[in-house]
Amino acid sequence: MAAQALALLREVARLEAPLEELRALHSVLQAVPLNELREQAAELRLGPLFSLLNENHREKTALCVSILERLLQAMEPVHMARNLRVDLQRGLIHPDDSVKILTLSQIGRIVENSDAVTEILNNAELLKQIVYCIGGENLSVAKALIVEISSVSPESLNYCTTSGLVTQLLRELTGEDVLVRATCIEMVTSLAYTHHGRQYLAQEGVIDQISNIIVGADSDPFSSFYLPGFVKFFGNLAVMDSPQQICERYPIFVEKVFEMTESQDPTMTGVAVDTVGILGSNVEGKQVLQKTGTRFERLLMRIGHQSKNAPVELKIRCLDAISSLLYLPPEQQTDDLLRMTESWFSALSRDPLELFRGISSQPFPELHCAALKVFTAIANQPWAQKLMFNSPGFVEYVVDRSVEHDKASKDAKYELVKALANSKTIAEIFGNPNYLRLRTYLSEGPYYVKPVSTTAVEGAE
């Protein structure tokens, strides 16, 4: 099949008007597996296909775009960066949007590849040209690519800011169009994942502007379009910098998260719950939440209630947030922090252990795994081990392999057993016989099936 595609590609290169050959090549390529094309990547001569894009013939352009999309997927980003620069640069200024989008997506692959991106970054002229070519585009793909390029290094961010592209993005972030604002905040959040990106956003006053927009959101009837993204931005910022500093400097962020957990809109509740999980994923963030006192206890009750009564997708998000909030690495298990996670667990429900056990018995693998993750998060904390040991049938439930039927559930159960078995306090709390059962489960692996003994019965057929 790949040989047939190569032969057709040579035909296309040889002929003046190869429309039939392009159609044939297009249909053959649909049937060729990508790995076969990868094996032939060195033989692929794509110059003629790129040339045909300039003929202003609608069907030829559409066929070439589709064919190139498939063939370029088979090429390594480094190879593209070295050998197809000129073709990609031309593609960026092509009058047809489908050609631009094809080109931008391939440049995106180059930017995401650490070896290939240096080919662009080491060539200042090429980088500038890419940035300026993209600058004329209002395609969201182009904007996303600008953010990707800006995120690579302080130098690449500098090119993008000098060209005015990042400034344009930030203007739209604070502009009047709420839908554009919602798209822009996702891109700005990506930029904030890098240290130089966060520095730039702080220097330009962008973080303060985002905070001010959240403050004014109450009086904006359209705020539900962009508010989730703005809150998510602060959640990520807090974890990457310092939860305490961000929450102290921008109190509206914490205020809004608490407010959104009470919302009747599941989108708002979901984002608030995710953000609480992100914020409480490290000790400093946990302490920030603890300082809000009874307010946070009420929030925990609400999340506990939602994990039982909300639609499935929101239940899973609540359980993931609970796992994140309750997990403490062994080296951080001070008496104070253990008391804190124990009190948080108690605040979730009247009998949280039974609540999560009940959820884990529902016929949804994702829910089952999310409930097991909660048990795994607390499995290395002595107070939780005592609760588990004193809960009738819980130890049997943990070592019972007949409960899980799919791979994800078996893996999740194995993680729970591993967390328990590897804890320093487990033998003392669970007792040696149970500790040995956990060790046996661990050594047998997640997918062990007990052999069924068959006894021959005399006279049986």
Q: How far apart are CA 275 and CA 326, in angstroms?
A: 15
In this predicted structure, the answer to whether residue 312 has a pLDDT above a threshold of 60 is: yes
In this predicted structure, the answer to whether residue 139 has a pLDDT above a threshold of 70 is: no
> Do 134 and 145 meet the contact criterion of CB atoms below 8 Å apart?
yes
* Cβ neighbours of residue 272 closer than 8 Å, sequence gap 6 or more: 231, 257, 258, 259, 260, 261, 263
Cα dihedral sign, 237-242-243-249: negative
Q: How far apart are CA 118 and CA 386, in angstroms?
A: 54
Mean per-residue pLDDT, 225-248? 93
Res. 68 pLDDT band, cuts 50 70 90: very high
Task: State what percent of residues in the chain have pLDDT above 70.
Answer: 95
Predicted confidence at residue 164, as pLDDT, reads 79
CA quadruple 323, 324, 330, 334: dihedral, nearest 10: -100
Q: How far apart are CA 319 and CA 313, in angstroms?
A: 10
Phi-psi sector, 445: left (phi>0), alpha (psi -120 to 50), beta: left
Tell me which amino acid residue 429 is: I
* Cβ neighbours of residue 423 closer than 8 Å, sequence gap 6 or more: 330, 379, 380, 385
Tell me which amino acid residue 432 is: N
In this predicted structure, the answer to whether residue 308 has a pLDDT above a threshold of 70 is: yes
Predicted confidence at residue 461, as pLDDT, reads 45
Q: How far apart are CA 431 and CA 11, in angstroms?
A: 76
Write the DSSP string, 214-255: HHHGGG-TTGGGTHHHHHHHHHHHHHHS-HHHHHHH-HHHHH
Q: Tell me the pLDDT tens digit for each residue of 177-219.
A: 998 899 899 999 999 999 999 999 999 999 999 999 999 998 9
- Distance from CA of residue 376 to its chain's centroid? 21
- Fill in the DSSP letter of residue 451: P
- Fill in the DSSP letter of residue 450: P
* Cβ neighbours of residue 223 closer than 8 Å, sequence gap 6 or more: 178, 217
In this predicted structure, the answer to whether residue 458 has a pLDDT above a threshold of 60 is: no
- The token pair at 406 is 């799919």
Q: How far apart are CA 440 and CA 443, in angstroms?
A: 5
In this predicted structure, the answer to whether residue 457 has a pLDDT above a threshold of 60 is: no
Helices vs. strands in the chain: H and E counts, helices first: 31, 0
Q: How far apart are CA 436 and CA 269, in angstroms?
A: 43
Residue 426: closest CA among 450, 393, 398, 392: 398
> Mean pLDDT for the chain?
90
Q: How far apart are CA 350 and CA 301, in angstroms?
A: 9
Mean per-residue pLDDT, 123-145? 69
Its pTM stands at: 0.78
Q: Buried b vs exposed e over 198-226: b needs ≥16 C-beta within 10 Å? A: bebbeeeebbeebbebbeebeeeeebeeb
In this predicted structure, the answer to whether residue 18 has a pLDDT above a threshold of 60 is: yes
CA distances 233 to 143, 226, 228, 239, 284, Å, are 18, 11, 9, 10, 18
Write the DSSP string, 101-146: HHHHHHHHHHHHSHHHHHHHHT-HHHHHHHHHHHHT---HHHHHHH
Phi-psi sector, 137: left (phi>0), alpha (psi -120 to 50), beta: beta
> Do 383 and 328 meet the contact criterion of CB atoms below 8 Å apart?
no
> Higher confidence at residue 97 or residue 272?
272
In this predicted structure, the answer to whether residue 386 has a pLDDT above a threshold of 70 is: yes
Predicted confidence at residue 13, as pLDDT, reads 81
Length of the chain: 461
Predicted confidence at residue 136, as pLDDT, reads 61
In this predicted structure, the answer to whether residue 261 has a pLDDT above a threshold of 60 is: yes
Mean per-residue pLDDT, 248-275? 94
Write the DSSP string, 432-447: HHHHHHHHHHHHH-TT
